[in-house]
Amino acid sequence: MTNEDIFKPIDFNFDENIILKDLMEMDVFKKSCITTIAYENGRSIIDTDNFFESYDDVMHYDENDNLIQKKYNTYVIYNFTHLPDVFESENESFVDTSSGGYRGRRPIWHVHNTAWRWKEDTPQSLIDTVNKLNLEYVSCVRLVGQVPPSKGIVHADSNFKENLKYFKNGGVSITLNVAHGGGHLQYRYKEKLHTIDESKYKCWHFNDALQHRTTEITSPRVQIRVFGKRKYENY
Ligand SMILES: [Fe+2]
């Protein structure tokens, strides 16, 4: 496993301005919901050894799952695709399962790794762009957004082993960087802090099983995360 397998730019071009305009027209931030993490002793439950600098000032859940407002907002999400029979697919990131994942929670795109349907209000510009990725199918396609003042909370989206299995079986996690917001992606790999200046890349693969966060953003950060499966000949 090299750092290249963790973060890898993808040579894919698209018109981010049209997508941004269409997303603002559909009022995507109003439809989105907050996603953050529980704290224990002032740290994210997946970052208990003080690896990342202090982020006590970011919105989080307390031990009783109450949302604690702080100076900084954090991520919001909105799913553009869904499975009409699976309620969690409307706007959730995880499903509770009895095994695997963190504390029994597994990313919904692992549990329901099939073709999802576009929601009706999704802008055609986004659908066309995702179709150009030429995947076998897409499952969860979602906004990962931030509105200033905001810092992305330290989290991990999956268990490391399960994510590797997902990628090995053709699974993808592709980011379309529609608006970087002035922040940097930071992740922990081999006990080093890696910092990615997101303004330099338009599209990338990222293994989101690593602990990661974003630094403070200064304008709205709009990313589209595309999960799905590559065509068989491509893996
Ligand atoms: Fe993430």
pLDDT digits (tens, 9 = 90+) for 45-87: 888 888 999 899 999 999 888 999 999 999 999 999 999 999 9
The pLDDT assigned to 217 comes to: 97
What distance in angstroms lies between residue 21's CA and the mean position of ligand 1's atoms? 24
Gap between the Cα atoms of 172 and 32, Å rounded:
23
Are the C-beta atoms of residues 88 and 95 closer than 8 Å to each other?
A: yes
What distance in angstroms lies between residue 208's CA and the mean position of ligand 1's atoms? 5
Gap between the Cα atoms of 187 and 107, Å rounded:
19
- Domains of the chain (ranges plus CATH)? 3-228 (2.60.120)
DSSP alpha helix (H) spans, 40-148:
108-111, 124-131
Query: Which has the minimum average pLDDT: 51-65, 163-177, 191-205, 206-220?
Result: 51-65
Q: What's the mean per-residue pLDDT of the chain?
A: 93
Average pLDDT, integer, range 209-215: 96
Gap between the Cα atoms of 70 and 17, Å rounded:
31
What distance in angstroms lies between residue 13's CA and the mean position of ligand 1's atoms? 22
What distance in angstroms lies between residue 49's CA and the mean position of ligand 1's atoms? 19
What distance in angstroms lies between residue 207's CA and the mean position of ligand 1's atoms? 9
What distance in angstroms lies between residue 214's CA and the mean position of ligand 1's atoms? 9
What distance in angstroms lies between residue 156's CA and the mean position of ligand 1's atoms? 6
**Where does 72-183 show beta strands of DSSP type E?**
76-79, 81-82, 94-96, 105-107, 117-118, 137-146, 150-155, 171-179
The pLDDT assigned to 48 comes to: 83
Single-letter residue type at 224: I
What distance in angstroms lies between residue 186's CA and the mean position of ligand 1's atoms? 10
CA 9 to chain centre: 16
Which residues make up the environment of ion ligand 1, defined by Cβ < 5 Å?
157, 208
The pLDDT assigned to 85 comes to: 95
What distance in angstroms lies between residue 18's CA and the mean position of ligand 1's atoms? 25
What distance in angstroms lies between residue 225's CA and the mean position of ligand 1's atoms? 10
The tens digit of pLDDT for each residue in 127-181 reads 999 999 999 999 999 999 999 999 999 999 999 999 999 999 999 999 999 999 9
Secondary structure of residue 148 in the 3-state scheme: coil
Gap between the Cα atoms of 44 and 70, Å rounded:
14
